[in-house]
Structure 1
């Protein structure tokens, strides 16, 4: 889940459907770092990375793209990662799991662009930390004092920076949590999806017109995929109804 007002729109598109195509659009039409997206030229020390993850998760979700340099004037260098800089996802998880709260959800995605896709991206590789926003658990606090982290601290994003939340910033975090539905939002939405599916099944079973019945069948399949996506299930394992 991500905050509904995430900007830029290309970032929102990427978070909803992480793919080479949506990442390409995000990188080629990006206006720089925001509350929801951060760029790193290489993987940084992991307590620093955990601090950024906490901040982005408290602010509304988003991502950290590794392999991109942002200069002081806001311009980007899509440098990509070398073989040595490209980390195994399991190693990333092992280094982060003891630095972050267990309910904070994130994942690392690998992107290797093929030759000829675009002059700025051809044969380059990037890694993206995708960070969820779950208003049930916001604000997340640091669980350790180590490196850049202070136990109990609440971090948030402020433009291009990660800061320890002031009282004013913490109010913003809480207001966003309330606006996003707080603790009931995910459960309510899932119940709505399941109720829709139940209605479609009943209508399908009672339908006599074959064209209408086939249409309902297609809707049921699409709704089932929607539910699996909502639950973060692997769509490649989806079995058609």
Structure 2
């Protein structure tokens, strides 16, 4: 039998009828990176779960599956909303930096689908983008405020406590230690261009008038190149 992590990885990479069926066969309950809902829940509640997963390690929300005392029951969705409309409504609550996607999965009447035959589901895939965590809702609701921060803990979405926030900030710090944004990269390259000009156009003149200054510029240029390589994570690539 395939491991839960293996099935999760395949479903996350390629949400389709086969990977969903394999995952539901091997899952028995909810996990921090899996959430199941029997129906298409209200937008503000769905947004809370999406934010919670985005702040933790990413994950998948499956609509059309009921979590019962006897395990998961794939009941399917009686009616399904248009994905474009769902995203439009979610955009009222989710920051635009948060990366997610919604997939509609429909099964036909073939017997090979077993209990999934003639049923429809939605898979919401939430990507973990560490450079932007923690995410907060951009709009409040009757259940939470704009200042609330959510995470996944004990297979549920909950408001972050002190230790949870520390974990989020540590993840951001650890993963983004050398990461460099496009805007920063542009600025760094402009500065490198200036440093390089001193080692080309003015190289000969400076070598006579102020050799110590030229040595300093050369060292700055070397360190600047190293910083950019670290930011792009290419320092070990030949």
Q: 2:72 matched to 1:76?
A: yes
Q: Which runs of 5+ in 2 are unaligned?
A: 183-228
Q: How far has the Cα of 1:159 moved from its partner?
A: 2.2
8 Å CA contact 2:178–2:230 kept in 1: the answer is no
Q: How far has the Cα of 1:49 moved from its partner?
A: 0.8
Q: How far has the Cα of 1:31 moved from its partner?
A: 2.9
* Deviation digits for residues 187-230 of structure 1 (CA, Å, limit 9, x no counterpart): 8899679x98xx9xxxxxxxxxxxxxxxxxxxxxxxxxxxxxxx
Q: How far has the Cα of 1:63 moved from its partner?
A: 1.1
Residue 91 of structure 1 aligns to a residue in which SS? helix
Partner of residue 108 from structure 1, selected from 85, 99, 102 = 102
**Shift in CA distance, 142/50, structure 1 to aligned 2, threshold 3 Å:** same
* Deviation digits for residues 30-57 of structure 1 (CA, Å, limit 9, x no counterpart): 1311111100000111111111110000
> In 2, distance between residues paired with 1:17 and 1:32?
21
> In 1, distance between residues paired with 2:91 and 2:156?
23
8 Å CA contact 1:48–1:147 kept in 2: the answer is no
Partner of residue 36 from structure 1, selected from 33, 38, 42 = 33
Task: Specify the alignment match of 1:59 in structure 2.
Answer: 56
Larger CA Rg, structure 1 vs 2? 2
* Deviation digits for residues 61-85 of structure 1 (CA, Å, limit 9, x no counterpart): 11110000001x3611100112xx2
CA-based RMSD? 2.6
Q: Which runs of 5+ in 1 are unaligned?
A: 1-6, 200-241
Q: How many residues align?
A: 187
Runs (4 or more) in structure 1 with deviation over 4 Å come to 185-193
Q: What TM-score results when the alignment is normalised by the length of structure 2? A: 0.71
Residues 152-171 of structure 1 correspond to what in structure 2 (within 5 A)? 152-171=147-166
* Deviation digits for residues 3-37 of structure 1 (CA, Å, limit 9, x no counterpart): xxxx6331122112222211111111113111111
Q: 2:119 matched to 1:133?
A: no
